[in-house]
Amino acid sequence: MKEKTPVTINAVVFDAYGTLYDIQSVAAVTEQAFPGYGDIITQIWRIKQLEYTWLRSLMRRYEDFSVVTRDSLAYTLRVLGLSYDATAFDRIMEKYLHLDLYPDASAALASLKGKKLAILSNGSSDMLNALVNNTGLDRVLNATISVDRKRVFKPAPEAYTLIEEILGARPDEVLFVSSNPWDACGAKSFGLNVAWIERVTPQAMAEACIKSDVVPPLTMFKALRTQMDELGVTPDHRIRALSELSGIVRQT
């Protein structure tokens, strides 16, 4: 039997929200706007935001991520019975253009110098370009790719085809990096090499539950959204930090 020829990783492509950027960093703004509700708002908002991307893809009623994000925030505030004005709403939305980078993100990207580096995100082009420019990643990325070009959200296979179309790298030459299990599964199913960042362990969630008779909203969110899904595919690499990526790339 002919041995499979090893393929060199020529491009490293990142998910944006939850992978390079800490979506939980919106909590400071939501707490300021609605004292005592900041945490629960961020969790419901993110859950509905993801659900709306999947539902719109299935319904073939695409709207870009800015619309999805506004609609899911409106849903969240309504179900929590919170009154708001346009100024408060827009101030919360604005934070999505200024999300905090994870502390190890810049150093990890610098360590991958020499490879094509890009973001592939469900974010709209306007949202992503503003976020990347505001955080200085425009200076290190070769491309910031939005699914707007295909009008369907990840994990639809069509979304991942944008990597080869824009970067010119075949799927087997790409390392795709995501902390979102559904995204990691989608990328692997498509044929990309995948590194999944397990930012939260089951042990950490168990400890959080033991400390209180009531499961905190953030712990519930982590149980629903941060552990690998049972979808019949598994990522190639399971890592805890972005700093581990340079070692993976060197081994290929």
Question: Which position has the higher pLDDT, 56 or 5?
Answer: 56
15 is catalytic: yes
Q: What is the pTM of this model?
A: 0.92
**Predicted pLDDT at 9:** 96
Q: How much is the pLDDT for 226?
A: 80
Does some domain include residue 116? yes
Please report which confidence band the pLDDT of residue 204 belongs to, taking 50, 70 and 90 as the band edges.
Answer: low
- Residues 232-248: what's their mean pLDDT? 95
CATH code, 98: 3.40.50.1000
Residue written as tokens 């199913």?
A: 189
Q: Does 2 reside within a domain?
A: no
Predicted pLDDT of residue 252: 74
Higher-confidence residue: 5 or 164? Answer: 164
- pLDDT value at residue 104: 93
Domain assignment of residue 5, yes or no: no
- What does the pLDDT look like over 26-53, one tens digit per residue? 999 999 999 999 989 999 999 999 999 9
Tens-digit pLDDT profile for residues 96-131: 999 999 999 999 999 999 999 999 999 999 999 999
- Determine which one of 15, 64, 148, 183 is catalytic: 15
Q: Kindly report, residue by residue over 141-187, the tens digit of the pLDDT.
A: 999 999 999 999 999 999 999 999 999 999 999 999 999 999 999 99
Q: pLDDT at position 251, please?
A: 83
Beta-strand ranges (E) seen in 147-233 are 174-178, 193-197
Q: Would you say 42 and 30 are in contact if contact means Cβ atoms under 8 Å apart?
A: yes
pLDDT category at 1 given cuts 50, 70, 90 is very low
64 in a domain, yes or no?
yes
Residue 131 pLDDT? 98
In a domain, 1, yes or no: no
Q: What is the mean pLDDT of residues 92-97?
A: 97
Q: Cα separation of 221 and 41, whole Å?
A: 11
Please list, residue by residue across 19-58, b when 16 or more beta carbons sit within 10 angstroms of its beta carbon and e when fewer do.
bbbbbbbbbebbeebbeebbbbbbbbbbbbbbebbeebbe
pLDDT at 227: 85
Express each pLDDT in 54-81 by its tens digit: 999 999 999 999 999 999 999 999 999 9
Q: 126 lies in a domain?
A: yes
Residue 18 lies in a domain: yes
pLDDT at position 214 is 61
What is the C-alpha to C-alpha distance for residues 93 and 101, in angstroms, rounded to an integer? Answer: 17
Is the model's pLDDT at 216 over the cut of 80? no
Residue 215 forms part of a structural domain: yes
Contact 69, 93 (CB under 8 A): yes
CA distance linking residue 101 with residue 18, whole number of Å: 9
pLDDT band at 12 (very low <50, low <70, confident <90, very high): very high
Residue 128: domain span: 11-251
Confidence band for 2, pLDDT divided at 50, 70 and 90: very low
pLDDT of 5 higher than 60: no
CA-CA distance, 50 to 240, in Å (whole number)?
23
Q: Edge-to-edge strand order for the sheet containing 143-146?
A: 143-146, 116-121, 11-14, 174-178, 193-197, 237-239
Split into its structural domains, the chain has a count of 1
Q: CA-CA-CA-CA torsion for 89, 91, 93, 99, nearest 10 degrees?
A: -150
